[in-house]
Chain A
Amino acid sequence: MAASASAMVVTSRAELLSLFRSLLRTASKFSDFNIREYARRRTIDGFRENRHLSDPASVAAAFADGNSQLDIARRQVLVYSLYAPNVKSVMEIKYK
């Protein structure tokens, strides 16, 4: 039993939280307000959606998917930074 459990890839809580944090950090780097907010929302929703996964295999699959999304997000931050909007979105203007 112990052997089979260790043979399976068990994704730890810390790894998942670290992925969540990395995705949020990457999301906050997008230069465009709409994309930045979308990436943030999508990260939070994705983690909420999979909150009740208990089967280690499906957790590992979701984790792998999240990691590939993180790679895409990191690349896209770079690509979008080359085409950054030169005006802010009205949503970004803060009135104090």
Chain B
Amino acid sequence: MATALRIAVLRHIRIPVQALEGFRPASASWNLFRGQNRSLSSHGDEHLEREEVVERVLAVVKSFPKLDPSKVAADSHFQKDLGLDSLDGVEIVMALEEEFKLEIPDKEADKIDSCSVAIEYIFNHPMSG
């Protein structure tokens, strides 16, 4: 009785091997996709290009009302080349923070005294966007 039932049941149960076969290519491509170098950070994978950082930093510095935009270059020193004082320097760093959505701690901000240092800092900062 039990054996007959077992045979009857087993006759109707099929393990869907076909379905598994169909599933495989999809999972392979999924693995391929995962195999790419994807970062796990939440703030977007793409890091800013250096040219873009340079361009945006210079645009911010040039928009500072007290200086002549034509004098600003990527290696300009705020105080020596552009004739600004330390207060102006703080204002420029604040404007850069706003532009790149950063919060630069005081110790780091005090070191930013030229366009080149600012570009370097922002380019190397993981959160700059």
Residues in chain A within 8 A of chain B (CB atoms): 13-14, 17-18, 20-21, 24-25, 28, 44, 47-48, 51
Q: Are A21 and B106 in contact (CB under 8 A)?
A: yes
**For chain B, what secondary structure do more than half of its interface residues adopt (helix, strand, loop), or is it mixed?**
helix
Q: Are A28 and B86 in contact (CB under 8 A)?
A: no
Knowing that A17-B90, A20-B87, A20-B90 touch, tell me 17 more A-B residue pairs with CB under 8 angstroms. A13-B86, A14-B106, A14-B110, A17-B110, A21-B94, A21-B106, A21-B109, A24-B90, A24-B94, A25-B94, A28-B94, A28-B98, A44-B87, A44-B91, A47-B87, A48-B87, A51-B87
Q: What chain A residues lie within 8 Å of B86 (beta carbons)?
A: 13, 17
Interface size on B, residues (CB 8 A): 10
Q: What chain B residues lie within 8 Å of A13 (beta carbons)?
A: 86
**For chain A, what secondary structure do more than half of its interface residues adopt (helix, strand, loop), or is it mixed?**
helix
Q: What chain A residues lie within 8 Å of B109 (beta carbons)?
A: 21
Q: How many whole Å from B103's CB to the nearest CB in chain A?
A: 8
A14 to B90, CA, bound (A): 11
A7 to B110, CA, bound (A): 27
Minimum-distance CB pairs A-B, first 6: A24-B94, A18-B106, A21-B90, A47-B87, A20-B90, A17-B90
Q: How many whole Å from B84's CB to the nearest CB in chain A?
A: 13
A47 to B85, CA, bound (A): 12
Q: Can you identify 17 A-B contacts, CB atoms within 8 angstroms?
A: A13-B86, A14-B110, A17-B87, A17-B90, A17-B106, A17-B110, A18-B106, A20-B87, A20-B90, A21-B90, A21-B94, A21-B106, A24-B91, A24-B94, A44-B91, A47-B87, A51-B87
A14 to B86, CA, bound (A): 10
Which residues of B in the span 78-116 have a Cβ within 8 Å of any Cβ on A? 85-87, 90-91, 94, 98, 106, 109-110
